Amino acid sequence: MSTEPVVLHGPDIGAGGGGFYDRLRCEHGPVIPVLLEGDVPAWLVIGYRELQDVLTRPDTFARDSRRWNAWDRVPPDWPLMPLVMPMPTVLNAEGEEHRRRAGAIAEALAAIDQHELRTVTTRFADRLIDGFCAAGSADLRAAYSSRLPALVLAWAYGLEEEHGDALATVMTTMLDGGPDSMAAQGTLLAEMTALVAARRAAPGPDVVSHLIGHREEFTDEELIPELIVLLGGGHQPTGEWIGNALRLMLTDDRFGASLSGSRLSVSEALNEVLWEDTPTQIYAGRFAAHDVDLGGHRVRTGDLILLGLAGANRDPALHRVPGGHQANRSHLSFSHGDHRCPHSAREMAEIIAVTAVEVLLDRLPDLELAVPAGELRWRPSPWMRGVTGLPVVFSSAPPLHSPPL
């Protein structure tokens, strides 16, 4: 096995999808030394068993990024800073503080009525489709899948519809880890600061007001970054989940029946995507609380450990049959252990995704790709998996002119 670090940045990293992780596994095994932007070292875990070990041993593989031993190697404007910055949020918290924050978030999201969520998602979906249905062609990623989750999340925060698209653009810029990521984070901080002040003055039936009124009595300094975390976890991964499922259904003959009305194929496609093209490919991360052996390597105290969710889902040790795991939900796409995605958040994402695909196929049942499948291009990112565009053609249809919410 090679011990040379793998460069995990550059214009072509991430576009290879599952094949990229299969190659890494053959050459390096389940745990891989990698170099991030600026040749900052880290460990990438792509073994299913090894990743479960990391995710279920918080005393050894801790979450607080203040433990990182490479802070002296990264400049303040490091493009990946938003992914590792020590902020007082549920992502960085440990022990009782993490349970306190995670419990409040789960309760706030669980308070959203699921029937109302489906209704709102359907209306936003119809409104977006109204914007392109008469044209007979569209880029589904730009016009639909990347916009819908942001609109629903803005509604959940009690924001006006126009805020949804703006938040989507800024959130994508921050999570892409490019040169403008820190500026985007500053914009989000300002937006959430203003929102918290408005909700303290005039509470409403929304997630922000629920957190403000929670028995834990969060301060503004605690709430504001937490709201950004919720947006980041809910917007881009859900949008790419929708887009990747639509790509699968439009390119794989096994899902062709869905285009003539089969509902079962929608849930099957969404689950298969979580195995084969999960939106969150790599997640940062964990930090070794002490020296430890992991996958045949000696990991030192403070080392950064990247969670290779996509690679672990493809581990041959799972003995999966390609295309035969639609009912199997043991993937790690929502993480695992104490810091896994809350159940209420997973339910919310699934409602949005299922509704998005079903409404689109109901409205435009003869959707077809406008280009050969081989011409679709994946985002050049090791962090998120999604196509750069999803051009389609269909029979022109009149808009519904959905009523306002």
Band of pLDDT at residue 113, cut at 50, 70 and 90: very high
Classify 305 as helix, strand or coil. Answer: strand
What is the CA 17 to chain-centroid distance, rounded? 16
Q: Per residue in 21-49, pLDDT tens? A: 999 999 999 999 999 999 999 999 999 99
Overall average pLDDT of the 210-216 stretch? 93
pLDDT for 293: 97
pLDDT for 258: 44
Residue 51 pLDDT > 70, yes or no? yes
pLDDT for 213: 93
Alpha carbon separation from 36 to 44, 305, 306 (Å, rounded): 11, 12, 11
Band of pLDDT at residue 324, cut at 50, 70 and 90: low
Give the separation between CA 84 and CA 304, rounded to whole angstroms.
10
pLDDT for 14: 64
pLDDT for 3: 80
Overall average pLDDT of the 300-315 stretch? 96
- Are 243 and 390 in contact, with CB atoms under 8 Å apart? yes
Residue 320 pLDDT > 60, yes or no? no
Per the structure block, which two tokens stand in for 58?
A: 């918080």
pLDDT for 263: 47
Report residue 153: phi and psi, to 5°: -65, -40
Q: Which residue has the higher pLDDT, 18 or 405?
A: 18
pLDDT for 177: 60
* Per-chain mean pLDDT for the chain: 89
pLDDT for 185: 78
Band of pLDDT at residue 264, cut at 50, 70 and 90: very low
375-401 per-residue burial string, b: 16 or more CB within 10 A, e: under 16 = ebebbebbbbbbbeebbbbbeebeeee
Overall average pLDDT of the 298-326 stretch? 83
Q: Which residue has the higher pLDDT, 328 or 281?
A: 281
pLDDT over 70, % of the chain: 91
Residue 319 pLDDT > 90, yes or no? no
pLDDT for 12: 67
pLDDT for 339: 84
User: Which position has the token pair 């950004």?
Assistant: 228
- Whole-structure pTM value: 0.91
Residue 405 pLDDT > 70, yes or no? no
Band of pLDDT at residue 167, cut at 50, 70 and 90: confident
